[in-house]
Amino acid sequence: MVDTMPQNPSPLSNFISPQKAELRIDAKQLMAPAANSAAFQWLDYHSLIIDQGLVIDVIPTAQAHKQYQTKQHYKLSQQLLMPGLSNHYCSLGASLFQHLGLELPTQLRWQNYLMPAEQKFVSEELIEVATEYSIAQSLFAATTNFSTHYFFPQVTAKIAKKHKLNCKIGICINPSFSLPNLSSEQQLASGLQLIDDYKHQQHIEFGFSIPNLNTVSNDFLNKLASVSNELALSIDVSFNRLTTTSTDHSKQRPIQRLANFGLLSPDLNIHNPVRLQRQELKTMAESGSTLIVSPSAACLAADGYPPLSEFVTLGGSFVIGSDNLASHNLNMLKELNSLALTSKLIANSATATNADQVLAAALKPTLQAPIVSSQTLGFSKGSEATICAVNLDTAMNLDGKAQTEQTIAHDPSQQIVYTGGQHNISHLWHKGETKIVDARLCSSEIQEQQKSVNQWLNTINQRKY
């Protein structure tokens, strides 16, 4: 329920004038930082007061109407409020290819489906259509922060600027395959120019992305380490069954190879590593490197599963991505559920990777230097007003229609991780701007976007693979 007219001042205003603000959101519960900065707590019947894209107060709802007069007022008596989720590993521009050869072995899929399709169809126009579509789909699943890498990163940067997205864009370094066809040196030079072009956009960061470490020579890896260190850029390295072994460039295993060039550091993110030795995990954890887990992609590839529980036990930190090109998925709520369940199975322990840990990993910002310095797990004064409303009291009647009912009180984190889904997202605001209301996207462009997507998919699917 929303009131769009200014509210009537309370009798208290005879003595104290209510402070004016843009938006007030009342909720059943909302997430706030706990005393431990690495955790969060849930506040019952509180309100968020938003102005100029920031949370200016977190206040009990019973007091909110006395202290604030807002232009808009949302009464979400059944919803939980939490910050938008982060997708720490995705390819927004690849969403029109992610269905091709999905259930084939990884190498066969890449050689016979993905690479031929990309060589045939990838263009700036396609990347723009796919990226816009991916963002819209992600918003429906409460995702507002991205770490993305794919061809034509300048297109992604343009769209991130348009939507004011908090976005880290990976400059792909892949000597064996790039579009347009560029050498490693050319890919690096093009990326550095793009970084310079967007150096004044605080909500857009850049880093390097290495999809296959085996293809990068030692000389170029040394140069990349020097550049990334000089510019304080992060590096994402994707591991797989082949990457874990020694290569023509080095007889050393990749963790040792990365360490030799000084790349094992808090600026290094390693995606879905498999078949790592315990000492390698310990070295990763001690260096401050982050483990990125894309659970659905790992399950579909069937090459092994990242040793998450063991890594956390050794003191390592992790984040979550969807790797949509490998998983056909941009729904981060699905990834939370998959990670929580699969990690327990792999660790053979019901206590491994609890719901709070999983949710916290999905809320970590994708930017190395968040714009709002007070950005924490939950809402506090000064937090960015990127807010997701989750209605976990929605059930289905036997006739298939949604109904709202009071459910038995559960732990909110467990509800979101184990039972929450895209259908539970009712509202979403990004930096104070309304994006979703009553599960409907506010943008008027969505129908035109869907038309463009369908045209491209029809063309792509007509090709014989």
Q: Where do the domains of the chain lie, and which CATH numbers do they carry? A: 2-83+377-431 (2.30.40.10), 85-353 (3.20.20.140)
Contacts of 435 (CB under 8 A, 6+ apart): 139, 428, 429, 441, 442, 443
Distance separating alpha carbons of residues 418 and 2, to the nearest angstrom: 29
Distance separating alpha carbons of residues 383 and 431, to the nearest angstrom: 10
* pLDDT string in tens for the chain (465-residue length): 666 544 555 554 455 689 999 999 999 999 999 876 567 899 999 999 999 999 999 999 999 999 999 999 999 999 999 999 999 999 999 999 999 999 999 999 999 999 999 999 999 999 999 999 999 999 999 999 999 999 999 999 999 999 999 999 999 999 888 888 888 999 999 999 999 999 999 999 999 999 999 899 999 999 999 999 999 999 999 986 555 554 555 578 999 999 999 999 999 999 999 999 999 999 999 999 999 999 999 999 998 999 999 999 999 999 999 999 999 999 999 999 999 999 999 999 999 999 999 999 999 999 876 554 444 689 999 999 999 999 987 554 445 455 544 454 579 999 999 999 999 999 999 999 999 999 999 987 788 899 999 999 999 999 776
DSSP one-letter string for 107-137: HHHIIIIIHHHHHHH--HHHHHHHHHHHHHH
Q: Quick one: which of 187, 266, 256 has its CA closest to 233?
A: 266
Whether this model's pTM surpasses 0.85? yes
Q: How would you label 293-302 residue by residue, b for 16+ Cβ within 10 Å and e otherwise? A: bbbbbbebbe
Distance separating alpha carbons of residues 387 and 433, to the nearest angstrom: 10
Compute φ and ψ for 219, nearest 5 degrees: -60, -45
**Do 119 and 139 form a contact (C-beta atoms < 8 A)?**
no
